[in-house]
Structure 1
Amino acid sequence: MSEAGGAELTVARIAALAGVSPPTVSRVINGQSGVAVATRQRVEAVLREVGYRRRDSAVSFPILELIFHALESLWALEIIRGVEEVARERGQAVVLTEMQGRMTPGKAWTEQVLARRPTGVIAVFSELTAKQQAQLATRSIPLVVLDPTGEPLHETPSVGATNWSGGLTATRHLLGLGHRRVAMLCGPLAWPCCRARLDGYRAAMDAAGVPVDPGLVRDSTLYVEGGLRDGAALLAMPDPPTAVFTSNDLQAFGVYEAARRAGVRIPEDLSVVGFDDLPFSRWAGPPMTTVRQPLVQMGATAARMVLDLAEGGTLAQHRIELATDLVIRDSTAPPSRS
């Protein structure tokens, strides 16, 4: 390991400033265990103060690290578009990591990202452990979370959308058309965005004085298969819904297929509202009414935030939520039966 001014001298100087031994500083720098939390924090504070950087782990060009729990839909591609637009403008390359459905990256990713020394890390639908966040902070690598899977923490900058408002607006639209048997397909309720969409649905139903039938609210998965399975179950009920609000467009597309198989017409027999406004939604048959989530802008916002932090700037807001909008197309209409 080489360091400006000599590695040994630099480590020794940091150790003296922090009041610890050089081996302790080395363990903190290399992300090793065996260091008390208070001691680690003291060393990390000194590292940040002196602007410590390891030359052997520096990359030859600036990169943004973009980590996803899964890359299985156009949802992820829309976010990537937004990140790359900003990255190009500011001279950054983008490195993608997919965790194949895991919410927290493993030790191998941590070692690799610390070796790459990116300008910053954007975690999408992912959560880094406290230790991983501390390791990034030690190397002055800022972190921004997009649509966190846990409660947004003020100390971790994050970007999201107005999910509650989106759920409220979508349900109000269906109620305004005259629907009263309105079903809701949820996503994982451990995720704040899915819980907020369900809460928006419940708030709209409550405000309209329409009781929520528990049988019409289904925990589903955010994929076509989930919409197909749970949509088929809803349509097989003795008193099926006349409208379905889904947590994303993929679920809605699954409901479309369930309706086709059951001989149910959209929107004549069943109104459907999605969420996201992915590019394919306008080409569905019929074109899908959906809540537009500004995915490209969310990716761009996260990229600007992390780059501003990397350049030593401060954020006016640590939590940013971008507005959602209802896009009315041809999959919703007044019910043919009350």
Structure 2
Amino acid sequence: MVRTASARTAGPTLAVVAREAGVSVPTASKVVNGREDVAPETRRRVVEALDRLGYVRRPRFDLARAPRLVDLVVHSLDSSRSGAVLRGVEEAAYDAGLDLVVSAGAGGPGTPGTPGTPGPSESSRPERGRLDRLVLRGSSGVLFDLAEPTAAQYAVLEQHRIPFVLIDPAVDPPPGAVSVGAANWQGGVTATEHLLRLGHERIAVVAERRGGLCDDARVAGYRSALASAGVPERPEYVRHAGFDREDARRRTRELLDLPDPPTAVFVCSDAMALGVYEALAGRGLTVPDDMSVVGFDDLPEARWAAPALTTVRQPFAEMAATALRLLLRMMDGHRPESTRTELSTRLVERASTAPPRPRVTCLPGK
């Protein structure tokens, strides 16, 4: 049989790749098309076979004629925090002439598992296939806001050379991943120093979860401020409440039940700070007369609370816009000098903090 020139240059077929990798043709096709429902080890064998045999992937569309499209994947759309992030990305995308696709999915705070470690139920999650659609529509880049991609999703992005940036990741990103966040350690220092200046020494902290990137940094800042002021840290004053407002209420009641309860508390999110308010009200106590409260985020709810919440402001819109600008550079082939960018935080003083009440000491025989 005489082969034509086009046949000689066509390269290996998908069947040859599948045979080389020891998988079926449909499985090889899933890998080539960026499908997520492939085991990591199987995906690795197929990708290595593709590279070894020089398989040429056909373009999905004419990149020169397609609009520049980016995806924003958020953990949830039903929070004011997500709204601030969306505004920042939307404005930056408009200025850059980009089209934006927004979707909400699981995998962020409060969900089982950690980034890079697919859980046993990963294949049944509602977001399965999200990156399949992203790849097929030709997205040029992805922003993840509090959404923690799985190992399979990272592999799909790497395979298709789609750059991504993580906004405010809750846990440590994988090596080399680019992220944008706030100066959480400094925010913890600032919140605690404010309470110390008011005269508080019995200061508690209610964090979200142990091992969280942001919360560990905020608690470390709290500890650093106490140490700098010469105030001993009291382990019973350090509480973790997950991401749940009800848990924050429970942790606050535990603090109030201590033999020597705190006079002030630094809460690592505004949402949990509202849970602290509720726990205090349930005991007939008031803010700040009986306990001063400082939050973290400066969401609209902080202004609406009664009394208005003193809090550490996270620049969510600015973080989102910075992440989009970094993603733009990555889409153009430039690698950021640093994988982590931090924006400064600042204290917003409102009505939830005041000097502690003087202790009443009963004299003998009185």
Q: Which category of TM-score, normalised to the shorter sequence, fits these structures?
A: 0.7 to 0.9
Distance in 1 (CA, whole Å) between partners of 2:231 and 2:52 is: 55
Query: Residues 189, 9 of structure 1: CA spacing in aligned structure 2 closer, same or farther, 3 A cutoff?
Result: farther
Task: Tell me the equivalent position of 1:3.
Answer: none
**1:77: how far off?**
1.7
Is 1:234–2:255 an aligned residue pair?
yes
Q: Is the 8 A contact 1:59 1:118 kept in 2?
A: no
Is 1:95–2:98 an aligned residue pair?
no
Structure-to-structure mapping, 1:123-202, within 5 angstroms: 123-202=144-223
Helix, strand or coil for the counterpart of 1:158? strand
Q: Is the 8 A contact 2:186 2:345 kept in 1?
A: yes
**1:65: how far off?**
1.7
Name which of structure 1's ranges 270-279 and 253-262 shifts more when overlaid on structure 2: 253-262
Query: Residues 124, 45 of structure 1: CA spacing in aligned structure 2 closer, same or farther, 3 A cutoff?
Result: farther
Query: Residues 111, 153 of structure 1: CA spacing in aligned structure 2 closer, same or farther, 3 A cutoff?
Result: closer
Helix, strand or coil for the counterpart of 2:165? strand
Q: Is the 8 A contact 2:142 2:162 kept in 1?
A: yes
**1:92: how far off?**
1.6
Helix, strand or coil for the counterpart of 1:133? helix
> CA RMSD, aligned part only?
3.5
Gaps of 5+ in 2: 1-5, 116-124, 360-366
**1:60: how far off?**
6.1
Task: Tell me the equivalent position of 1:245.
Answer: 266
1:80-138 CA-partner distances (Å, limit 9, x unpaired): 11111112222322321221754667532232322233121112223323432232122
The two structures have a TM-score, normalised by structure 2, of 0.78
Query: Residues 275, 56 of structure 1: CA spacing in aligned structure 2 closer, same or farther, 3 A cutoff?
Result: same
Task: Tell me the equivalent position of 2:121.
Answer: none
Query: What amino acid maps onto 1:215 in structure 2?
Result: E
Task: Tell me the equivalent position of 2:122.
Answer: none
Helix, strand or coil for the counterpart of 2:70? strand
Name which of structure 1's ranges 90-99 and 161-170 shifts more when overlaid on structure 2: 90-99
Query: Residues 249, 164 of structure 1: CA spacing in aligned structure 2 closer, same or farther, 3 A cutoff?
Result: same
Task: Tell me the equivalent position of 1:29.
Answer: 32
Distance in 2 (CA, whole Å) between partners of 1:121 and 1:247 is: 28
Please, which of 194, 217, 240 is the counterpart of residue 238 of structure 2? Answer: 217
Q: Is the 8 A contact 1:185 1:244 kept in 2?
A: yes
Is 1:68–2:77 an aligned residue pair?
no
Gaps of 5+ in 1: 1-5
Is 1:79–2:85 an aligned residue pair?
yes
Identity %: 40
Please, which of 279, 287, 300 is the counterpart of residue 258 of structure 1? Answer: 279
Distance in 2 (CA, whole Å) between partners of 1:223 and 1:205 is: 26
**1:254: how far off?**
1.3
Query: What amino acid maps onto 1:29 in structure 2?
Result: V
Name which of structure 1's ranges 131-140 and 263-272 shifts more when overlaid on structure 2: 131-140
Helix, strand or coil for the counterpart of 2:333? coil
Helix, strand or coil for the counterpart of 1:329? coil
Distance in 2 (CA, whole Å) between partners of 1:141 and 1:59 is: 18
Query: Residues 46, 320 of structure 1: CA spacing in aligned structure 2 closer, same or farther, 3 A cutoff?
Result: farther
1:174-212 CA-partner distances (Å, limit 9, x unpaired): 111111111110111221101111111111112222222
Task: Tell me the equivalent position of 2:59.
Answer: 53
Q: Is the 8 A contact 2:88 2:318 kept in 1?
A: yes
Name which of structure 1's ranges 192-201 and 94-103 shifts more when overlaid on structure 2: 94-103
**1:168: how far off?**
1.1
Task: Tell me the equivalent position of 2:135.
Answer: 114
**1:163: how far off?**
0.5
Greater Rg over alpha carbons, structure? 2
Name which of structure 1's ranges 258-267 and 185-194 shifts more when overlaid on structure 2: 258-267
Distance in 2 (CA, whole Å) between partners of 1:201 and 1:232 is: 21
Q: Is the 8 A contact 1:149 1:190 kept in 2?
A: no
Distance in 2 (CA, whole Å) between partners of 1:308 and 1:329 is: 39
